[in-house]
A and B are shown apart, each in its own frame.
Chain A
Amino acid sequence: MVPLSYYLVLSAVLFACGVAGFLIKRNIITIFLSIELMLNGVNLTFVAFAAQLKSLDGHIFVFFVMVVAAAEAAVGLAIIIAVFRTRETLNVDRVNLLKL
């Protein structure tokens, strides 16, 4: 039997790694990957509490988070492609103007 706190610490570590990647990375695709890592960390918290409370509602929430993450990935990658067409770069330091 694994204590619930182990799962929570693991998800906190994953979330912290996601936040660190979001802050220190300069490649826009890697920043996007860090966001997915944060979502996965939160999902683990949902599943752990669902197992503790013997309730399936947490699983449904994780399902919806996955749907939103898939939609977000599709739209975000389309935006990345559109930005790359106009700027010819993926570095967020070079994408510093609102105009095209």
Chain B
Amino acid sequence: MSDAGPRLGRPPARLVVGGTVAAVFLVLPPIALVVSAPWDRWWSIVTTPEAREALWLSAWTSTIAAGLCLVLGLPLAWLLARVTFPGRRWLRALVTVPLVLPPVVAGVALLSAFGRHGLVGAPLRELFGTQIPYTTTAVILAHTFVAMPFFVISLEGALRSTSARLEVAAASLGADRWTTFRRVTVPLAMPGLVAGLVLAWARSLGEFGATITFAGNYPGTTRTMPLDVYAALQADRDTAVALSVVLLAVCVLVLVALRERWWGVR
């Protein structure tokens, strides 16, 4: 059974051409990257302890960041979608700011807030002696900061499009707001939720500017894959390309594995 929809004739040429150009434009650089990789040395490059360390660091910090996006972003998206409160429009605009902020600027902003002399960081240091920059915590914070808007926007859209009347039905059946949220709202918004989470994870995996500015760059603690690639670029371009191929492979694998859920199509 074909899921191509009703037959409406041939697709217009200009759309096909435009789409093909776009596809080629997007697919060509990654393919060129793979082609130009030093395949004879590839395995030895990517299995060095430094490379493995960076990859592992990237993987688990991005996953935790995605988890934080879920835990914090879900309530926020729900509030923005379902509750009317004064200043809601402003809040929604502010939530998207990390999206448009250049990553390095985001890093500077994070320093101003959580750095050793930051608004929150300074008292934190004085009272508890804890410091956030140069730690892996800082990496996670930086990732979460830049990735959360992706998740919130995607989820808020999905929540808005779910029928609010279904929630009326649930309420009439005796479900309190939390039960309705758990059993009706979230399951129905799942495609948007998963898509948002994947976007957030992918964004966090590739995050560079905010991380290096706020968290620093040290192997094992804060040198994630993108930072490692940049460092390698300074010394040996081939190494950088080899490492980039690893990142590319990880991203493609995850995206392909989640493809069905991503589109939420049956």
Q: Do A and B bind each other?
A: no
